[in-house]
Amino acid sequence: MGSTAEVIQPGSPSEAASAFGDGAAVAVLAGGTLLVPDLHFGRARPERVIMLGDAGLNYVSRNNGTVSIGAATPIAALVGEATPLGPCAASIGDNEIRAQATVGGNLCAPAGFGDLQGPLLALGATARSAGAGGERSEPLEDFLAGRAGRLLLDVSYAEPAAGALAGLGRPHAHHYTVMAVSGARSRSGAVRLAVVGAGAVGSRLRAAEALAGDPDAAGVAAAGEVAPSDDPLASGWYRARTLPALVRQVLSDLEASA
């Protein structure tokens, strides 16, 4: 039972990029927490599977205030990072899932999944990827919009001056958090806010950012710039209803850390 796809185990990022090509008929297996059951049950039927385990993409490096995280880095490796990234990583799945699932898998997961999108959008992360047309770096926001056909290599961001995270939901091992808002203030003082759970992928809350000095108004503005939908964990109504509170919480935590 299961997949008999050709398995490719690249030994470097460039080998991975070349094996990936334009991404047609290829599936990428990093941790495997999403792909392995899909292969087993025939929900995914790729011709080739690239295993990233030995591709040199498991790293967290720091250079002059810039943090780079390889796509095959397990989520557990981020648990000690500063807010919002660390606490967000700590809230994903359980011990075993965090040790196996990877940053790249989380950022490239199907709609709904992808808790890490929130903090990394708030941190203004840049995504470096390979695929048709070669390697490119772009804001994570742009990458998320066009991630099909791309092989994520790493994400990097400048360490912020302050960060905050507020999420809904009991402690759980669900696929994703019902909704969470991440916030970060850069060293230049700019505040970025991002939400996951209010759309198919994480998104910046630009209208709320513009009102960062007025948390109540920012919360109301945030609810106006998303259109959350229903899923088994919560309704769109509930997400829209509670988003202002999460935005207020994040802004007030950012303020308190000033």
The residues that touch other proteins, with contacts defined as CB under 8 A, are 1-5, 7, 29, 31-33, 36-37, 39-42, 49, 51, 53, 93-97, 99-100, 168-175, 230-235, 237-238, 241-242, 245, 249
- Comparing CB distances to other proteins, the nearer of 161 and 240 is 240
Contact 207/130 with Cβ under 8 angstroms? no
Q: Which two tokens stand for residue 103?
A: 């940053």
Q: What are phi and psi of 116, to 5 degrees?
A: -70, -15
**DSSP one-letter string for 94-151:** -HHHHHH-BHHHHHHSSTT--TTHHHHHHTT-EEEEEETT--EEEEHHHHHHT-TTEE
* Spatial separation of the C-alpha atoms in residues 174 and 146, rounded to whole Å: 26
When the beta carbons of 51 and 67 are compared against other proteins, the nearer one is: 51
Cβ of residue 193: shortest distance to other proteins, in angstroms?
18
Closer CB to other proteins, residue 160 or residue 228? 228
Query: To the nearest whole angstrom, how small is the minimum distance from the Cβ of residue 244 to other proteins?
Result: 9
Smallest distance from other proteins to CB 235, Å:
6
The DSSP element (H or E) to which 49 belongs, if any, is strand 48-51
Give the single-character DSSP code of 29.
E
Phi, psi of 129 (to 5 degrees): -140, 165
Q: In the complex, what is the shortest distance from the CB of residue 248 to other proteins, in angstroms, rounded to a whole number?
A: 8
> Is the Cβ of residue 99 or residue 190 nearer to other proteins in the bound state?
99
Which residue, 66 or 235, is less far from other proteins as judged by CB?
235
- Least distance to other proteins, CB of residue 206, Å: 23
Q: How far is the CB of 218 from other proteins (least distance, A)?
A: 15
Residue 145 Cβ vs other proteins, minimum distance, rounded to whole Å: 25
Nearer to other proteins, 134 or 232 (CB): 232
3-state DSSP call for residue 196?
A: strand
Nearer to other proteins, 188 or 256 (CB): 256
Shortest CA distance to 243 belongs to which of 198, 187, 193?
A: 198
Contacts of 188 (CB under 8 A, 6+ apart): none
Kindly report the backbone phi and psi dihedral angles of residue 91, in degrees, each rounded to the nearest multiple of 5, phi listed first: -90, 0
One-letter amino acid at 153 equals L
